[in-house]
């Protein structure tokens, strides 16, 4: 893929933006701005490879493709736009534009990829039962049209992904420096559409109204990413496409595919067929991850799957048309048990190995490639060569995290390598490994990116660091002059609990929607010029289906999308949630399993000054009252409303709480046994006085 060579520097503050005016043709236009450009590092879409249809059996793509309009409320100047991410500048204008199936969409000349934006608009409109005509622009002024324009000269304030949108009674003008900006402008245009008529299709409207408005919008970051782990649980091409379609609506532009790990290798490599013949399959297990039995003798490995190279090309083309770059991750040197099951000679001990089904093994069974073995680097050269040919983006992610060094310390080949390379520690041995892999990656015309453990022992010369263990990795890498992507696990790991564990599927830690939104990912100590962007990660150890993947991703990914696109000075939780609530409803109506955990009550056990257990009730939302009972009944708005911390009544077995908003119960009822609350407190406490007060 051809990529831009722009400076990764960017400014968080926005310059003054140009006003719109009405042109001689009666259509709104923008005057050219001047001043400093935003200048984020960005990638243009890759060259399109031949496409083919995805696999059957997942959520139909037509529903996802049309979700852009599926549940949007009609927008008016009084209500304000319900946009996510929030636009940089919005100015309401008088009048509306009437859009019908006779409305032409005019493409700019000599820009074939602008048609992708027009195609996206028609996917949005399909939910309304009609589509618009797409045609080339002409010299004759067009009225009552949607004009897509590539600015010449370019506007430095917009960069490569910004856009200008003007809607009046006489037409719509969407202008940008690059086709990507047109595409993102279409996503905004879709969010300004009214809700589709119901029932459909018999009652579909013959026309739609768009409000008069001027919008100028530019992104904060050039890397706005999500990660989908397809190794721990495999997802089909159709399911990945559904995820891409939803991402595009909210202006994400990178999807990292975690293709390999201990539990499965998911990419066809023609030079190494055993990777998919053996490494893509494991014995089936269900239950809680890390509690599974290891493979039994003779047990058939029937759980798994992989992408053929034709399927990857299809995914790349699909993502390209939505201006999303696919970033392949090939885990090395650790997390490589599936690799070793296929090619045990790449280990220190020689094997044999089996693909892990989700049982505990770390430190007991070898899962790292041997850096003392030259065959390891010959293997990686073959694999990375084929990966580079399939994925046209700039980066190949090599993992580099959580590599266990215990087997290296006992390996004669590794010891010999350390002596020959004058390496003083096993951390330096890993650094040697990563630096050598970087040379392989660069020999294929790509750049290396890895998790922040690639800093250990010395960072490879040109590596980009993805900081997941907080922000420390980004701080260290930026001080060394390296580019970084912020992906702190505390807030941007989407497999964490988003509600009370009693109401959610089993996982670990917690990141609620409000916390994800309010989190500022870039610390002041990190040079802004070196920040490519941010990324949320969905690890799928405990996520076996697309429905569960959607539940864990949305709505928290809305908060990440907002932080990735909009300036942090604009953050306002109540205002954001008023917009997020609209998007949540739209996603739900489009068939996406959007979590509603944000409505659930929160119960926090504490110990008061006298040593008694007390319960504090709260909510992520404002204008919510919490109603509770310690009896074996289901509370509703008529039950006592929480006012102050609660002591436990004598002999109470549990507390039951429900959230009430605008006079009705919302969210799920939370029932928590008293012993569970004591356990969560984590310290000794008294439940109630040994003797009642006289």
424 to 403, 455, 476, 477: CA distances (angstroms):
18, 16, 21, 22
Residues 461, 466, 468, 474: is their CA dihedral positive or negative? positive
DSSP code, position 200: T
- Which secondary structure element, helix H or strand E, spans residue 228, and what is its range? strand 223-229
For residue 692, give both structure tokens.
Answer: 């009642």
The single residue of 7, 374, 402, 636 carrying the catalytic annotation is: 402
For residues 272 and 383, the answer to whether their CB atoms sit within 8 Å is yes
Q: Which residues does 498 contact at the CB level (< 8 Å), separation at least 6? A: 504, 510, 511, 512, 513, 552, 556, 595, 597, 598
Helix (H, G, I), strand (E, B) or coil at 232: coil
- Which of 479, 448, 440 is CA-nearest to residue 465? 448
For residue 56, give both structure tokens.
Answer: 């059957």
- Which secondary structure element, helix H or strand E, spans residue 355, and what is its range? none
Beta partners for residue 449, in sequence order? 397, 464
Task: Give CA–CA dist 226/557, Å, rounded.
Answer: 8
401 flagged as catalytic: no
The single residue of 155, 160, 209, 261 carrying the catalytic annotation is: 261
Helix, strand, coil percentages in the chain from 3-state DSSP, rounded to 5: 30, 20, 50
261 flagged as catalytic: yes
List the beta strands (DSSP E) in 260-389. Answer: 260-261, 264-265, 281-282, 303-304, 325-332
678 to 219, 609, 610: CA distances (angstroms):
46, 16, 16
The single residue of 335, 397, 491, 627 carrying the catalytic annotation is: 335
For residues 211 and 192, the answer to whether their CB atoms sit within 8 Å is yes
402 flagged as catalytic: yes
Residues designated as active site: 261, 335, 402
């Amino acid at each position: 893929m051809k990529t831009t060579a722009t400076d990764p520097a960017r400014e968080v503050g926005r310059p003054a933006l140009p006003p719109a005016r009405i042109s001689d043709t009666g259509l709104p236009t923008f005057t050219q701005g001047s001043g400093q450009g935003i200048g984020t590092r960005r990638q243009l879409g890759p060259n399109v490879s031949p496409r083919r249809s995805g696999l059957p059996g997942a959520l139909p793509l037509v529903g996802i493709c049309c979700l852009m309009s599926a549940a949007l409320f009609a927008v008016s100047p009084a209500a304000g736009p319900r946009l996510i991410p929030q636009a940089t500048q919005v100015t309401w204008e008088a009048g509306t534009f009437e859009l019908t199936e006779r409305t032409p969409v005019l493409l700019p000349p000599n820009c074939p990829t602008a048609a992708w934006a027009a195609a996206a608009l028609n996917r949005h409109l399909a939910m309304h039962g009609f589509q618009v005509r797409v045609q080339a622009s002409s010299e004759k002024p067009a009225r009552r049209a949607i004009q897509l324009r590539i600015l010449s000269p370019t506007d430095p304030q917009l960069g490569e992904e910004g856009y200008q949108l003007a809607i009046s009674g006489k037409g719509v003008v969407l202008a940008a420096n690059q086709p990507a900006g047109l595409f993102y402008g279409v996503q905004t245009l879709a969010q300004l559409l009214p809700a589709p008529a119901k029932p459909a299709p018999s009652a579909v409207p013959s026309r739609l109204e768009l409000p008069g408005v001027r919008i100028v919008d530019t992104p904060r970051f050039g890397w706005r990413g999500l990660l989908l782990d397809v190794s721990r649980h495999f997802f089909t091409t159709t399911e990945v496409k559904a995820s891409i379609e939803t991402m595009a609506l909210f202006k994400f532009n990178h999807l990292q595919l975690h293709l390999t790990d201990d539990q499965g290798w998911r990419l066809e490599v023609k030079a190494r067929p055993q990777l998919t013949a053996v490494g893509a399959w494991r014995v089936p297990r269900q239950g809680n991850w890390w509690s599974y039995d290891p493979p039994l003798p003779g047990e058939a490995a029937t759980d798994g799957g992989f992408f053929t190279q034709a399927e990857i090309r299809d995914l790349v083309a699909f993502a390209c048309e939505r201006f999303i770059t696919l970033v392949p991750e090939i885990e090395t040197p650790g997390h490589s048990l599936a690799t070793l099951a296929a090619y045990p000679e790449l280990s220190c001990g020689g094997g044999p190995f089996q693909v892990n089904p989700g049982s505990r093994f770390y430190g007991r069974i070898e899962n790292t490639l041997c850096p003392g073995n030259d065959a390891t680097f010959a293997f990686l050269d073959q694999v990375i060569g084929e990966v580079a040919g399939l994925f046209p983006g700039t980066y190949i992610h090599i993992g580099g995290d959580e590599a266990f060094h215990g087997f290296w310390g006992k390996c004669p080949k590794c010891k010999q390598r350390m002596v020959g390379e004058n390496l003083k520690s096993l951390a330096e041995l890993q650094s040697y490994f990563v630096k050598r892999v970087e040379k392989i990656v660069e020999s294929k015309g790509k750049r290396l990116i890895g998790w922040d453990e690639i800093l250990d022992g010395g960072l490879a010369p040109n590596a980009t660091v993805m900081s997941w263990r907080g922000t420390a990795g980004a701080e260290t890498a930026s001080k060394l002059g390296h580019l970084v992507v912020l992906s702190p696990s505390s807030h941007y790991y989407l497999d964490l609990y988003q509600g009370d564990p009693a109401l959610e599927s089993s996982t670990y830690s917690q990141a609620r929607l409000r916390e994800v939104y309010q989190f500022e990912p870039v610390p002041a100590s990190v040079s802004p010029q070196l920040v490519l962007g941010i990324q949320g990660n969905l690890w799928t150890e405990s996520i076996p289906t697309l429905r569960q993947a959607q539940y864990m991703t949305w709505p928290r990914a809305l908060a990440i999308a907002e932080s990735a696109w909009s300036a942090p000075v604009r953050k306002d939780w109540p205002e954001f949630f008023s917009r997020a609530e609209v998007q949540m409803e739209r996603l739900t109506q489009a068939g996406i399993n959007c979590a509603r955990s944000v409505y659930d009550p929160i119960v926090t056990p504490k110990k008061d000054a006298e040593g008694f257990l007390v319960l504090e009730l709260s909510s992520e939302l404002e204008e919510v009252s919490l109603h509770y009972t310690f009896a074996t009944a289901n509370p509703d708005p008529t039950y006592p409303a929480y006012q102050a911390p609660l002591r436990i009544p004598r002999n109470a077995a549990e507390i039951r709480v429900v959230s009430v908003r605008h006079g009705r119960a919302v969210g799920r009822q939370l029932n928590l046994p008293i012993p569970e609350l004591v356990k969560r407190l984590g310290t000794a406490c008294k439940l109630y006085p040994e003797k009642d007060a006289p």
